[in-house]
Structures are given as structure tokens and as C-alpha cells.
Amino acid sequence: MTYHDNPALMRAAEGAVAALRAMQRPSGELPTYEAPTPDMARARPYAASVYTTTFAVHALRRFVDQPVAAAALTAAGAHLRAERNPDGSWSYEGRGTTRVPPDLDDTACAAAALAALGERPDLRVLRLLWENEAAPGGPYYTWVGVNGGAHMLARQVDALVNANIVFCAALAGFELPGAAAYLRARVASADLTPASDYCLTPHLLVYTLARALVDGPARSLAPAALALLAHARTLDTGEPFRLACAVAALLALGDEAAAAPLLGDLLDAQGPHGGWPIGLAYTGYPPYFAGSPGLTTAIALDALGRALR
């Protein structure tokens, strides 16, 4: 089954592109929100955060021939460059933040987004990887500059973070065998949820793993493809964020038959202004719950782009 030139999908994609552009702050950022409860009630935006913007770049790049998407990508790139720390890293809460140290998750996602925009890989990112590896070739610690001491965040190894690191490395043209082996072992488990301290459900992790495998492409993850597809097929799709992750992962992994009925559900969940609502995407320390209408819309747009492609 193919979806090329499907008018309903194209209209939905155009609406999503327009929605992402409308959500952008003047800086080019797609804001990220935190909430005190998993239902994302009373969510409030961070003053600054690059994470959602990186996912929007990944989705928008398929539509760069559209002027609205091109404008959104230009603005997003400017935001990511402005938020880069002097050592080449990025911080979850924005440039120069002091509440938490820089991290390799935001760094890998931001570097990958800039690579998609045509920027050559920054050698400082390679240095950061080398300085924060748990073993040669990975896996890698989450937080930058704290792993040699007694910091409460020291020496954390997380599957979501390493999936994004492997994705970024693959875009730059190299594999990380240790990180890939670690991820393959996690995918082989029956339940992916314990693989990440940041994912209360496996949806974002499955999506980022599929993205790394297919869009990198991270060939060292290929032996885990069938097991990853099995995880994607069992994701619940009861709310829009989870639905978007499931559809995008299934299409990335080549299961159009399983994705087909869910695509209709995804279109039905699209709002009147072209976007999809906020949903719980990940959590962190101290306990908070994070997501964004921009993140849901970006992953939904990625799914539509895959279907149209």
C-alpha cells in the first residue's frame, strides 16, 4: 500500500507545517512545557529549551520545498546555533543554565538537527563523547562534565540518550559499536520502559530508536530491527502523542499495513489549526513531566512525511 499524492495526507502535512511555524517563538524555538502531573494539566513553558525544536527540524526537512517550512527551518537553525555552549554542548534548559549540567541528549539532537540543515559536524561534539563514555565506543553517560566525581547525576547511562547519540553519529558517517550493542541488548528485552529513566512509557524511545536505525542510518542497529518492530506494534495509541510515535515508528520500520488504520486516527486527532495537542513525552529530575504541542505535531508530521514519501 502506498500513500503518495494522497490529498488528505498532504493537507494534513501542510496544516502541521503551518502550525509548527505559528508555534515558534521569535527566537525560532518551539517551546517545551513542564507540568506537575503526568496528565500535563497546568503545563507551563520553559524559558528556553532546544529539545522540541530539534525534533521539529527532523520532521520539517522533508517539506523544505514549502516556503513556510523553509522559514521555520531557518528560524530553528538560528535558535539552535544561539543556544550552543562554548564547549560545543547544549543544555536542556538553555545556554548557560546552572540548575543541571549540559547533556549529551540535547547535544546529540541539536547537532543532528544542524547536520540536517547542512552544517558540518562540530568536532567538539566528538570530544564530548570521548570525555563522557562509559566504555570505548559507548555507551555514553547522559550528563557532561560530572562523571568523575560524586555528583548526583554522574555516570548515568540511558537508552533514550544513547539512541539519539547513535543517530547523530550515523548522520556524521560513523558508527558507535559499544552504544549500538548496549541498545540492541535493551531492545531484546520484553519491556523497553525500564531502559530509560526518562520514559514512563516506551513510545518516545521506540520512535528515537527507529529514527536512528532508518534515518541515520545506524547500520549497527540493524540486527535489532525485527525486535524493535515488535515493540512498535504493541504500543498503545490512546492519546495523540503516543499515536504519533507509533505511526512514525511503524512507517520508519516498513510496516505500512499496521500503520494504515492508525494514520486515519492521526488525521482525526489533528486540531483545527493544524497541530496536535500536548502529551506526556518524558520525565526527569526532580520529578516533573514534559511535553509540547510542538513535539506531538513534529512527530505526527514526521509520520505524514514518511507516508507521503
pLDDT digits (tens, 9 = 90+) for 67-117: 999 999 999 999 999 999 999 999 999 997 778 899 999 999 999 999 999
pLDDT digits (tens, 9 = 90+) for 274-292: 999 999 999 986 678 999 9
Q: Is the pLDDT of residue 57 over 90?
A: yes
* Grid cell in block for residue 48: 528556553
* Grid cell in block for residue 225: 530491527
Please give the model's pTM, rounded to 2 decimal places: 0.96
pLDDT tier at 149, thresholds 50, 70, 90: confident
Say which CATH topology domain 7-308 has.
Glycosyltransferase (1.50.10)
pLDDT digits (tens, 9 = 90+) for 32-41: 999 999 999 9
> Residue 197 — φ and ψ, nearest 5°?
-70, -10
Q: Is the pLDDT of residue 1 over 90?
A: no
